[in-house]
Copies of this chain bind each other. A is one copy, B any other.
């Protein structure tokens, strides 16, 4: 039987430790092809490149050393998935996995996440897809602790399938392996960022800003990803790209805009 073909991408760039960890885990399951940004793309949301040309390069050292194909791409995570599917892969992948992100993509962070936008792009194309994030921004984070759980989730997805229109957003707490309480299916917690702009003046006297902020949790629900993570669980949120707020349609009809 043919091994499952696994397309791997991320938003921290092709040299990030997180994607290297994911590649090593996925090699225990299937055939791996990497198409990942040639530079960090954090906070890129679902950006795509319309106004610039895209460059892509085969990272041949990877193939020789590790037995898998790897390509860098000058675009965003969503571009990487599009390019991988249309130009690089010779057959349709069985699954697309994105990450492991250096830092959380739980709660409202999913909206800003390049990691998740890559998974969502694959989902739009009808390919089962999962984004993985470790709640540790460090470049030297311990990804090994998550190995067993990540393999379990990907194997389950390959076996059970992921419903059409759904991709999985998996966040892993920053804990030792033996401290992980388990895996929980959750909903996205309500939250936002309390922004603060750090205003400075450059040597030419021109003002500029750095975006900073603090995460503000607005939701104490025990069924949320934030609650799961705070209690030592890996959170799995089924995430959709039909953004329609179906519950709001009736109320809007009462505005009588058609009159």
Interface of A toward B, CB cutoff 8 Å: 40, 42-51, 53-56, 78-79, 82-83, 85-87, 108, 110-112, 117, 120, 124-126, 152-153, 156, 160, 163, 165-166, 168-169, 182-185, 187-188, 190, 192, 195-197, 199-200, 206-211, 236-249, 251-255, 257-258
Residue contacts A-B, CB under 8 angstroms, 12 given: A43-B47, A43-B51, A45-B48, A53-B209, A108-B124, A126-B192, A163-B251, A165-B190, A165-B245, A183-B258, A185-B249, A239-B243
Given A111-B120, A111-B124, A117-B45, residue A82 in contact with residue B211 (CB < 8 A): yes
Whether B42 pairs with A45 at a CB distance below 8 angstroms is no
Given A45-B44, A117-B45, A208-B53, residue A245 in contact with residue B238 (CB < 8 A): yes
- The 8 Å CB contact of A244, one of B44, B54, B117, B187, is B187
Whether B252 pairs with A236 at a CB distance below 8 angstroms is yes
Residue of B nearest to A210 (CB): B53
Distance of A214 from chain B, by nearest CB (Å): 13
| Known A56-B209, A79-B211; 16 more pairs at CB < 8 Å | A40-B51, A42-B50, A43-B51, A44-B45, A44-B47, A47-B112, A53-B209, A54-B197, A55-B207, A82-B195, A188-B242, A188-B243, A236-B252, A238-B244, A239-B245, A240-B243
Given A111-B124, A197-B86, A257-B183, residue A238 in contact with residue B209 (CB < 8 A): no
Distance of A227 from chain B, by nearest CB (Å): 14
Q: How far is the CA of A241 from the CA of B45 in the complex (A)?
A: 13
Given A45-B46, A47-B43, A124-B111, residue A209 in contact with residue B257 (CB < 8 A): no
